């Protein structure tokens, strides 16, 4: 790849979501006067940053639950630091493509806000618990509930009163819902793709965790350099180059150099592929992006297969590696037992959650409460409720 191939210019200006506070996408459920010097999406980003659910991301597992390491490390990614990495990548992408940087940043900050404790193991268990009541758990829809209802910071309304663009981006992060199955989401243009700012978040997320999980996986000793090199040609290529450029460097600095270059290559590829696809479509407006035959934010076919290959390796050797089974089983047990305990005795729920039962039903209320917990909070509560310690 040519070294500067990522600097090929911005997209047509009308593809970006306008920062105009009077535009449709800047509309809020409760109308508010425009701020004198902040764009509507800069305000959204600040509202997310100041939210309780955002701060709790610090205590939530990103991919690992209690990542085993000797000695234990506090420097492994949490959902909060992962989120900040996604925000950095999203800002870079949006700026280089001439998109709305503040919107991209706000969407990145919100993208994992709906995740329950214990990463995907926690999400799976919560979904299983809800299935028994004819419901399901979906972190995108839970994120929407957080920003439209659970966050209470304003006397005038519940929720954060985010713009339509933010709420649409949250709903459409990583998947597209059909209007037939989700009539309650009708206001979010379900038959259209989201703006590019929102489409990019999903890929920025993939790129961020691919490289950071290799980093944490190697650092923790769960992955070995030899197996990563053997299984991921993209890594091997950059690692060989780094070894050649820095023959005397410490091995871990060579790995950092490798991962940095890999991250840069993925981001540059994504940027270029978006440009190629927009150009091929001849799109010059947001409306054309929305009605394109497919999402336009994507990696090139070659890079996409390299990403899929690397992700498959991480699933087999890190996320679902033999040592993690016990950890996932514990996460599932904690979520399911706590869910059952609250179902059996709703008076164990805090008063503000109990107040939700008449409108949301008991099972949804219990799931909402559990989904908001950090890893350490749910462990403590489980100890008290279910682990035969009557406190
Ligand atoms: Mg994420």
How far, in Å, CA of 105 to CA of 100, rounded? 9
Ligand 1 centroid – CA 329 distance (Å): 22
Residue list, CB under 5 A from ion ligand 1: 112, 205
Quick one: CA dihedral 365, 373, 172, 40, positive or negative? positive
Ligand 1 centroid – CA 208 distance (Å): 8
- Residue 338 DSSP SS3: helix
Ligand 1 centroid – CA 149 distance (Å): 22
C-beta separation of 342 from 349 below 8 A: yes
Length of the chain: 391
Helix%, strand%, coil% for the chain, nearest 5: 65, 0, 35
Ligand 1 centroid – CA 44 distance (Å): 18
How far, in Å, CA of 129 to CA of 11, rounded? 45
What pLDDT is stored for residue 5 in this prediction? 43
What pLDDT is stored for residue 2 in this prediction? 44
Ligand 1 centroid – CA 253 distance (Å): 26
Q: pTM for the full model?
A: 0.93
State the Rg of the chain over Cα: 22
Q: Please state at what angle helix 101-110 crosses helix 79-97, rounded to 10 degrees.
A: 160
- Phi-psi region at 209: left, alpha or beta (left = phi > 0; alpha = psi -120 to 50): alpha
What residue segments make up the domains of the chain, in order of their start?
A: 37-390
- Using one digit for the tens of pLDDT, what is the confidence trace for 28-63? 999 999 999 999 999 999 999 999 999 999 998 876
Ligand 1 centroid – CA 294 distance (Å): 22
Tokens of 27: 């509309």
Ligand 1 centroid – CA 197 distance (Å): 15
Kindly compute the dihedral angle of the four CA atoms of residues 179, 180, 186, 191, in this order, to the nearest 10 degrees. Answer: 20
CATH 1.10.3210.10 fits 37-390, yes or no: yes
Q: Please state at what angle helix 101-110 crosses helix 196-220, rounded to 10 degrees.
A: 50
What pLDDT is stored for residue 3 in this prediction? 44
How far, in Å, CA of 22 to CA of 6, rounded? 33
Ligand 1 centroid – CA 181 distance (Å): 25
What pLDDT is stored for residue 327 in this prediction? 85
Kindly give the residue spans of alpha helices, DSSP state H, lying in 50-118. 52-56, 79-97, 101-110
**DSSP state, residue 31:** -
Tokens of 48: 């997310």
What pLDDT is stored for residue 178 in this prediction? 79
Could you state, in chain order, the average pLDDT of each consecutive group of 10 residues for the chain (391 residues)? Answer: 55 95 95 96 98 94 60 79 97 97 98 92 95 94 93 94 96 79 82 94 96 92 95 98 98 97 98 96 96 96 97 92 84 95 95 94 96 93 76 43
Ligand 1 centroid – CA 151 distance (Å): 20
C-beta separation of 24 from 110 below 8 A: no
Kindly compute the dihedral angle of the four CA atoms of residues 346, 347, 353, 359, in this order, to the nearest 10 degrees. Answer: 50
Ligand 1 centroid – CA 314 distance (Å): 15
């Amino acid at each position: 790849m040519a070294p500067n191939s990522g600097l090929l210019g911005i997209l047509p200006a009308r593809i970006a979501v306008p920062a105009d506070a009077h535009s449709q996408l800047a509309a809020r459920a409760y109308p508010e006067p425009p701020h004198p010097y902040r764009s509507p999406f800069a305000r959204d980003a600040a509202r997310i940053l100041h939210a309780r659910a955002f701060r709790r991301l610090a205590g939530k597992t990103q991919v690992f639950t209690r990542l085993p390491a000797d000695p234990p490390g506090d420097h492994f990614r949490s959902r909060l630091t992962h989120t900040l990495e996604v925000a950095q990548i999203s800002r870079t992408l949006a700026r280089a493509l001439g998109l709305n940087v503040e919107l991209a940043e706000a969407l990145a900050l919100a993208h994992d806000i709906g995740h329950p404790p214990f990463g995907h193991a926690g999400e799976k268990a919560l979904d299983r618990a809800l299935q028994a009541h004819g419901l399901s758990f979906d972190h995108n829809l839970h994120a929407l509930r957080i920003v439209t209802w659970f966050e209470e910071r304003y006397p005038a309304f519940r929720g954060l009163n985010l713009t339509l663009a933010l709420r649409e981006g949250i709903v459409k992060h990583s998947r597209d819902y059909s209007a037939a199955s989700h009539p309650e989401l009708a206001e979010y243009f379900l038959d259209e793709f989201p703006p590019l700012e929102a489409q990019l978040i999903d890929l920025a997320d993939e790129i961020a965790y691919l490289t950071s999980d290799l980093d944490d996986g190697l650092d923790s000793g769960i992955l070995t350099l030899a197996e990563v090199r053997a299984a991921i040609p993209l890594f091997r290529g950059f690692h060989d180059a780094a070894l050649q450029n820095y023959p005397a460097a410490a091995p871990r600095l060579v790995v950092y150099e490798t991962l940095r270059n890999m991250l840069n290559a993925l981001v540059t590829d994504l940027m270029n592929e978006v440009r190629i696809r927009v150009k091929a479509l001849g799109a010059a407006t947001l409306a054309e992006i929305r009605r394109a035959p497919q999402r336009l934010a994507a990696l090139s076919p070659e890079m996409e297969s390299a990403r899929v290959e690397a992700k498959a390796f991480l699933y087999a050797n890190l996320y679902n590696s033999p040592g993690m089974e016990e950890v996932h089983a514990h996460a599932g047990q904690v979520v399911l037992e706590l869910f059952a305990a609250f179902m059996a005795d709703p008076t164990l729920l805090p008063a503000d959650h109990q107040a939700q039962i008449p409108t949301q039903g008991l099972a949804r209320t219990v799931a909402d409460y559990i989904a908001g917990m950090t890893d350490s909070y749910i462990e403590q509560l489980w100890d008290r409720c279910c682990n035969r310690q009557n406190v």
